[in-house]
Structure 1
Amino acid sequence: MCGAPDGRGRPVRVTVNRVLLALTGLALLVLGGSVLAVGLGAPAPSWWIHDGRHDVLLDQAERTRWRDDAWWWPTVIAVLAVLLILALWWLTAVLRRRRLAEVLVDTGDGAGAQLRGGALQSVVRAEASALDGVSRAHVRLKGRPNAPSARIRLVLEPHAAPATTLDELTTGTLTHAKDSARLDALPAVIRMSSARHKAERVS
């Protein structure tokens, strides 16, 4: 899917993500450094929640304060579970964004266009899967919008000739993708493995 280039959305998400990571890292660094310093004998700062190095995180009074309130510990556990789920969702979102979201296409008029990375991946995967001797193909685009690269994994049938398949993939599939997106180059890391078939019982 093509569209007019809009460079605002992705940089804003990247900036927000980096700011959140920086603030989280700074908070953890200050908290962890304070715990370490107090534990080694440094005087506790005025804002510290405990009095000194021999103070415990939760004393007996704090641990038993809400014992008679049935809602307290379930609420604490639920809040911690929600925070854990949000952290895992954030991590998953960050890892997913490592894949190339769009490819910048030079239309020749100076304006350019954006091609969805998933669309180009699907085209390359479909054409690679159609090669003779290829059982399955997995394609992932990485890099920058104006300089993408591909990681391709092919699962070959027993009769496939790896050298021939590699030649057809590089001179055919990847060249078609490069030319259709008007890229100067489309470097690729290609891995091949053999398909495993279950042995059939012959009676």
Structure 2
Amino acid sequence: MSAMLRTVNRVLLGVVGLVLLAVGGAVLAVGLGASPPSWWIHDSRHDVLLSASERTRWRDEGWWWPTVIAVLSLLVLLALWWLAAVLRRHRLGEILVDTGDGAGALLRGRALESVLAGQAGETDGVAQAHVRLTGRRDAPRTRVRLRLEPHVDPATALDELTTRALAQARGSAGLRALPAEVRMKAVKHKAERVS
């Protein structure tokens, strides 16, 4: 399903891009002096997109402005839905676990994320851990953000994360590999006055 949505998204973006490129290129060509075909919306480089009579033609009709507002609102809602769908798909919903019998099982991505974040957060000196799974069901990847206490050595925290949390997750899910992108940031404590 995810591959199909990705394909539809790419095709839709490609079609919209080609239409915008063709229309924009044709308008630019006419504006630079090229002679347009007889069916084109512009007659010459001095022609406007909408004449005064075309712009004011429906203004006095009672249905015109509500229709324009409804269509534009619908386009904005569709664009926001599309954007949300594209951004949401970056998180992996489920992981295909190799059970050894050839059938496999599905593991919820959020469950593995919360287990990984919990294990990483239990590491000494880690104030907060956030994990997100990306990639494909059969080849997941992780993005880990760690907020470290000032006294913690980042190399030690990274070693703990890879040898404990990530290794256990890889082993329990039966994955050959679980690549991780780890970002670390130190927690900044406010200075307190001591009297």
TM-score under structure 1 length normalisation = 0.84
Counterpart among 100, 119, 127 of residue 119 in structure 2 = 127
- Residue 141 of structure 1: aligned partner: 133
Distance 1:127 1:164 in 2: 15
Alignment of 1:49-198 (within 5 A): 49-69=41-61, 71-198=63-190
The one-character-per-residue Cα deviations of 1:83-116 (angstroms, maximum 9, x if unpaired) are: 1231122122112212323222111111222222
List runs of 5+ in structure 1 lacking aligned partners: 1-8
Task: Name the SS for the 1:52 alignment partner.
Answer: coil
Q: Distance in 1 between matches of 2:37 and 2:165?
A: 63
Taking only aligned residues, the RMSD between alpha carbons, in angstroms, comes to: 2.2
Structure 1 residues 86-95 or 192-201, which shifts more?
Answer: 192-201
Is 51-60 or 66-75 further displaced after alignment? 66-75
Note if 1:34 corresponds to 2:30. Answer: no
Contact 2:127–2:149 (Cα < 8 Å) also in 1: yes
Secondary structure of the 2:20 match is helix
Q: Which residue of 2 aligns with 1:6?
A: none
Aligned-residue offset at 1:74: 4.7
- Tell me, yes or no, if structure 1 residue 19 matches structure 2 residue 11: yes
User: Matched residues in 1 for 2:128 and 2:108: separation?
Assistant: 22
Q: Deviations over 1:62-91 (max 9, x none)?
A: 222233345533532442232123112212
Aligned partners of 2:64, 2:4: CA distance in 1, in Å? 39
Q: What one-letter code is carried by the residue in structure 2 that aligns with 1:107?
A: T
Structure 1 counterpart of 2:73, which letter? A
Instruction: Find the aligned partners of 2:60 and 2:104 in 1 and give their Cα distance.
Output: 66
Find the residue that maps to 1:200 and give its secondary structure: coil
**Equivalents in 2 of 1:76, 1:193: separation in Å?**
49
- 2:64 partner amino acid: W
How far is the alpha carbon of 1:40 from its aligned partner? 2.1
1:199 aligns with 2:195: no
CA offset at residue 36 of structure 1? 1.9
Comparing 80-89 and 131-140, the one that deviates more: 80-89
Distance between the aligned counterparts of 1:47 and 1:138, measured in 2? 57
Pick 1 or 2: higher relative contact order, CA cutoff 8 A, min separation 6: 1
Displacement of 1:27: 1.9
